[in-house]
Amino acid sequence: MSVRGIRGAVTVDRNEAELIASATLAMMKELVEQNELSPADLCSVLITVTNDLDETFPAQSIRQLPGWELVPLMCALEVPVKGSLERCIRVMALVNTDKGQEDIKHVYLGGAKALRPDLSTK
């Protein structure tokens, strides 16, 4: 078994706690489903937000998912690069898996598809 990184990102239309929470949950649920994961497979999840999203911690919504109370989650600010994608939530999930890197499915939703069109699944 190896530790693999799985990337994900999603954008929201406005800086509102409910939108941030629902977008974060949608992204994480898709990441888990696409990669056939359970919470016990996760080593940790790093979540970043752009500095225009400050109404809630995305990790709070993830912690509400059944079985996720023991998964280490951490939020941070994304590097503020001029002209970069706005209102974006990104994740880097480290998982224990038998899958090779070529079998990992990264999840980019909404406007975040522009970040990695080569990896976007939907």
Q: Which residues are catalytic?
A: 7, 63, 75, 78, 90, 108, 116
Alpha-carbon torsion angle 89, 92, 95, 97, nearest 10: 100
Buried b or exposed e, range 39-62, using 16+ CB within 10 angstroms: eebbeebbbbbbeebeebbbbebb
In a 10 Å sphere around its CB, with 0-12 CB exposed, 13-18 middle and 19+ buried, how is residue 99 labelled?
middle
